[in-house]
Amino acid sequence: MYKRVGGLLILLVVVAFFYSSGIIQALIIGDMEHIQGFLDDWGIFTPLGSMSIILLQAFVAPIPAVFIYIANGIIFGAIGGFFISWIGSLLSAYLCFALVRHFNFNMQIKNDFLRKIIGFFETYQEKAVFIVRLMPFIPTDLASFAFGFTLIKTRYYVIGTALGQIPAILFYSVWGGMQLPLLWNIIAILMWAAVVLGVIKVYELFKEKDNLRTSDSEGNEKIFF
């Protein structure tokens, strides 16, 4: 009880600090100038400042961390920005997931559609996490909390997240680091969408092959008996 109250108080103090700096508002409206200025003020601890913002936005304002990824690309370059964003995003995803698991929320899901989705997640484990992380239109933080309600093993969740978030973070890091003109940004977005669709198509092909093998093996067993 006291630990939870203490943790909540610490969180409130941290939120108050970041809110007074205006960084939360900057994340909501996408004020890149303010975000860059805030990170620059951290000096040699700028990487820690960046990761702290990624963690903060997951719990306080579950909005996409796109602007942070771009800012990291501008400040640290494409490669440095990628690694800082990747580590921060992975920590954020794990903490959201672990928070739900720690409090052991017992949620009864009655909706058949949601049950099927959770069943898909639990059946395909890290593959399901990987696919969800590839989807640019699915909020990553909300997905992290949602995965906590499933029976997916933690290591599979971490593996799927670590691999699945690479393309999006790399894209935004390069975008920020190279500062391309608008036309090239549009082309890059279309290429990114094509890559996502391609990965999904390849996954579907592998899934169809697995289903065929399973049905063939079951058919052979029936003939044998």
| pLDDT at res. 224 | 47
The answer on 169 and 204 residing in a single domain is no
Those residues with Cβ within 8 angstroms of residue 133's Cβ, 6 or more apart along the chain or in another chain: 140, 143, 160, 161, 163, 164, 165, 168
Those residues with Cβ within 8 angstroms of residue 51's Cβ, 6 or more apart along the chain or in another chain: 84, 87, 88, 91
| pLDDT at res. 203 | 65
The answer on 214 and 105 residing in a single domain is no
What would the two tokens of residue 69 be? 């990824």
| pLDDT at res. 83 | 93
| pLDDT at res. 127 | 78
The answer on 147 and 93 residing in a single domain is yes
CB atoms near residue 25 (< 10 Å)? 13
User: Can you give the chain as a three-state secondary structure string?
Assistant: CHHHHHHHHHHHHHHHHHHHHCHHHHHHHCCHHHHHHHHHCCHHHHHHHHHHHHHHHHHCCCCCCHHHHHHHHHHHHHHHHHHHHHHHHHHHHHHHHHHHHHHCCCCCCCCHHHHHHHHHHHHHCHHHHHHHHHCCCCCHHHHHHHHHCCCCCHHHHHHHHHHHCHHHHHHHHHHHHHCCCHHHHHHHHHHHHHHHHHHHHHHHHHHHHHHHHHHHHHHHHHHHC
Residue 70's nearest CA partner among 43, 36, 38 is 36
The answer on 75 and 143 residing in a single domain is yes
The answer on 75 and 30 residing in a single domain is yes
pLDDT tens per residue, the chain (225 residues)?
A: 555 556 566 666 666 666 666 777 777 776 778 888 888 888 888 899 889 888 888 877 556 688 888 888 888 888 898 999 999 999 999 988 888 887 765 555 555 656 666 777 777 777 788 888 877 667 777 788 888 888 888 888 898 888 888 888 888 887 777 766 656 656 766 676 677 667 667 766 766 776 666 666 655 555 544
The answer on 193 and 166 residing in a single domain is no
Radius of gyration of the chain from Cα atoms?
20
The answer on 141 and 43 residing in a single domain is yes
Those residues with Cβ within 8 angstroms of residue 31's Cβ, 6 or more apart along the chain or in another chain: 25
| pLDDT at res. 90 | 93
Domain span including residue 31: 2-179
Residue 56's nearest CA partner among 5, 19, 100 is 19
* Predicted structure pTM score: 0.71
The answer on 172 and 225 residing in a single domain is no
Q: Which of 161, 179, 197 is the last residue of a domain?
A: 179
The answer on 102 and 32 residing in a single domain is yes
The answer on 43 and 11 residing in a single domain is yes
Number of domains present in the structure of the chain: 2
What is the Cα–Cα distance from 74 to 65, expressed in whole angstroms?
15
| pLDDT at res. 165 | 86
The answer on 160 and 50 residing in a single domain is yes
